[in-house]
Amino acid sequence: MEVLILSKTNLGGNNVFVGGMVLENKQYIRLLNPDGWHPYLDTEYQIGQVWNIDFQKVENLSDPHNEDVIVESQSYIRSIDDLSGFILQSGAHIWRGSIDHLFDSRLLWAEAGAGYISELQRNIPKHSEGFWINDRPINYEKDGHYLYLPAYRHASKRKMKYKGLAQARASIPAHTLLRVSLARWWKPEGSVDEKRFCVTNQVRVEIFF
pLDDT at 149 over 90: no
The closest of 49, 61, 62 to 19, measured between CA atoms, is: 49
User: What span, in angstroms and rounded, lies between the C-alpha atoms of 157 and 15?
Assistant: 31
Measured CA to CA in angstroms, residue 114 lies from 4, 26, 31, 174, 202 at distances of 29, 28, 27, 20, 15
Q: Is the pLDDT of residue 205 over 50?
A: no
Q: What residue ranges of the chain are covered by domains with CATH 2.40.50? A: 2-84
| pLDDT > 50? residue 137 | yes
pLDDT per residue as tens digits for the range 5-62: 998 887 778 899 999 999 999 999 999 999 999 999 899 999 999 999 999 999 888 8
What DSSP element (H or E) covers 65?
A: none
| Least-confidence region, from 114-128, 146-160, 183-197 | 146-160
* 88-96: average pLDDT: 92
User: Per-residue pLDDT for 203 more than 50?
Assistant: no
206 or 89, which is more confident: 89
- The span from the CA of 33 to the CA of 80, in Å, is 24
The class that CATH gives domain 2-84 is mainly beta
pTM: 0.86
pLDDT at 121: 73
Looking at residue 181, its pLDDT comes to 87
Note the pLDDT of residue 119: 76
The answer to which of 66-80, 103-117, 133-147, 188-202 has the lowest mean pLDDT is 188-202
Residues 203 and 151: beta-carbon distance below 8 Å: no
Q: What pLDDT is attached to residue 4?
A: 97
Q: Closest by alpha carbon to 11, among 3, 33, 191?
A: 33
Determine the pLDDT at residue 123.
79
* CA pair distance 42, 40, nearest whole angstrom: 5
